Amino acid sequence: MITFSKHFDSSAWLQICQQLAPYNATLIAVSKTQPASNIAALYELGQRHFGENYVQELLEKQPQLPADIHWHFIGHLQRNKAKYIAPFVHTVHSIDSLPLLAELNRQAEQNNRIIRGLWQVHIAKEETKFGLLPNELRDILEKFHPSDYPFIQMVGLMGMASFTKNIADIQTEFGLLQQLYEQLKPSQPDYFCQLSMGMSSDYPIALQHGSTMVRIGSLLFGDRPTKH
């Protein structure tokens, strides 16, 4: 087992936990590019949900860390890589097609386990962000029959706001996702009980718009090197 980093500064973690408590939101500690020792340090404090973006990096770190960590895959997932994370991943936040869902279901079945999933919705103005447009999601949901994917439990929506300092723009984008979530929820409350939105720079806004899961990296661990 990995030893944890004794020099880890836990003040940001404590402060974020206190901020989330009144909202009953879950903190996903985004640990991409972080060494396993930093993940272990947060684990020692009681953090159990961690988010990773890259399959290879996750596969290197996961075996070094406690088995009861809930790993959230938050990056773009290529269909042919689903098999590598299926043995242990808790939730995939980036489901954007039925073929990906079908492959993930197949791999979950192979491992005889249930994987949770979120539909990733494109809300940002930037072209580069992945995800389904709201209308594409509605089309997919018409063709989506949960019984076709018995090893996947879809639980909600994920989205990323534009990378901007303009608070009004971020509010508009999170507001859009919240509205979509609240439109979908009444018909199928079991499939829409999680709304994953908010990162280091915008999570207070996300909480005001009903986020149930915030994905925070740099605020917890310090700035990442600019290039992965």
Q: Enumerate binding residues for ligand PLP (CB under 6 A).
A: 30, 32, 53, 74-75, 160, 199-201, 215-219
Cβ nearer to ligand PLP, comparing 40 with 213: 213
- Which run of H or of E encompasses 97? none
Complex with ligand PLP: residue 149 or 221, whichever CB lies closer:
221
List b or e across 160-185, with b for residues whose CB sees 16 or more CB atoms inside 10 angstroms: bbeeeeeeeebbebbebbbebbeebb
CB-nearer residue toward ligand PLP: 184 or 219? 219
Main-chain dihedrals φ then ψ at residue 189, nearest 5 degrees: -55, -30
User: Min. distance of Cβ 130 from ligand PLP in angstroms?
Assistant: 9
- Residues 6+ away with beta carbon under 8 Å from 116: 90, 91, 92, 152, 153, 154, 155
**Residue whose CB is less far from ligand PLP, 172 or 218:** 218
Sort 186 into a burial class: Cβ within 10 Å, 0-12 / 13-18 / 19+: exposed
Residue nearest to ligand PLP (CB): 217
Handedness of CA 91, 207, 189, 139 (dihedral sign): negative
- Number of residues in the chain: 228
To the nearest whole angstrom, how small is the minimum distance from the Cβ of residue 72 to ligand PLP? 9
> What's the min distance (Å) between Cβ of 45 and ligand PLP?
18
Q: 208 or 218, CB closer to ligand PLP?
A: 218
In this structure, what token pair is assigned to residue 116? Answer: 């949770």
Shortest reach from residue 152's CB to ligand PLP, in Å: 20
Which of 152, 199 has the CB closer to ligand PLP? 199
